[in-house]
Structure 1
Amino acid sequence: MEKTMTRYDVRLLDGDVDDFVQLLKWLQGDDQLARHAVVSRADETAKPGEMGTALEVVQLVVDSGFQTLNLVMTCALWRQSRYRPPVVTIEHNGVRVTVDSSDADAVARIAEALRGS
């Protein structure tokens, strides 16, 4: 039986290259995500109106056992580990959410918004 795969894109709205690299390593090192996701770096060309020539994106290709809440929680915990926590966005099926809090209710609402996409 073939597994159904889907994609999530994770970006930083602010922060620098070091923040991006640390987020990538944090997500790659998370055991819960590793069970159901392939986490990699993907460069995307900036869209008209965006600054720069390329955007750094953490891409997760996930199977049907993936839990969206784990991704949102992992991003929230990573933000807590930073001295100046960058704002994280997660995009899935055209729905983009912002992770700017580690509050449990906020994390649950963010995950629910992504699950509905």
Structure 2
Amino acid sequence: MHEYALQVDPHSAGQGPETELRSLLLWLKEDESLRRDVRGRIRSGAPTPTPAAGGTPMGSPGFDLLQLTVGSGLSAGSLLFAVLQWQASRRRPPALTVRRGPYEITLTGDEAADPEGLRRIVAALEHGSGDEGGDEGRADDGTA
């Protein structure tokens, strides 16, 4: 199993981060090639609000993080392809940050036109958790 965290850039989210993430999760669940291998939940990526001087919480954080658990039989490339398809289907595709282990990659949707860039992104996501077969000996700043 692999863990991914996906977050929508709130400045590019046309309908708001929570709505965009719900749309993405539904998209992944409806994809026949993914639905058995992908489990997800939407939660707040913001830290817990601190109480104000009067002891009441200062606002409530929105839900802006999609946590995915992906079966080991599903490649990062398949997941990336589905996410890019979802972005392409949006009227105003939001920028989406994908994290796995130490790697963080921001997808704008333009990546679909760059085969070499896609290969680098998939390689980073495939080995992002330090799994066996990763790039332990390679110097890398964690970005693609």
Place the TM-score, normalised by the shorter chain, in its bin. 0.7 to 0.9
> What residue in structure 1 maps to residue 3 of structure 2?
7
Distance 2:105 2:19 in 1: 22
Larger radius of gyration: 2
| Higher RCO, 1 vs 2 (CA within 8 Å, ≥6 residues apart) | 1
Cα gap change, 1:95/1:27 in structure 2, threshold over 3 Å: closer, same or farther? same
Q: Is residue 41–residue 66 contact of structure 2 (8 Å, CA) maintained in 1?
A: yes
1:58 deviates by 1.4
Query: What is the count of residue pairs matched by the alignment?
Result: 110
Query: Which runs of 5 or more residues in structure 1 are unaligned?
Result: none
Cα gap change, 1:46/1:13 in structure 2, threshold over 3 Å: closer, same or farther? farther
Distance 1:62 1:46 in 2: 25
> What residue in structure 1 maps to residue 127 of structure 2?
116
1:55 deviates by 4.9
Distance 1:115 1:45 in 2: 26
> What residue in structure 1 maps to residue 113 of structure 2?
103
List 4+ stretches of structure 1 deviating above 6 A: none
> What residue in structure 2 maps to residue 84 of structure 1?
92
TM-score (norm 2): 0.65
More helix by share: 1
Identity of aligned residues (%): 25
Which structure 2 residues correspond to residues 31-46 of structure 1 after superposition, within 5 A?
Answer: 31-46=32-47
Note the aligned Cα RMSD (angstroms). Answer: 2.2
Q: Is residue 99–residue 110 contact of structure 1 (8 Å, CA) maintained in 2?
A: no
TM-score (norm 1): 0.78
Q: Does 2:71 match 1:63?
A: yes
> What residue in structure 2 maps to residue 27 of structure 1?
28
Q: Is residue 28–residue 34 contact of structure 1 (8 Å, CA) maintained in 2?
A: yes
Distance 1:98 1:113 in 2: 12
Distance 2:74 2:104 in 1: 18
Query: Which runs of 5 or more residues in structure 2 are unaligned?
Result: 49-59, 129-144
Distance 1:19 1:37 in 2: 18
**CA deviation string 1:57-78 (max 9, x = no partner):** 1111122212100111111111
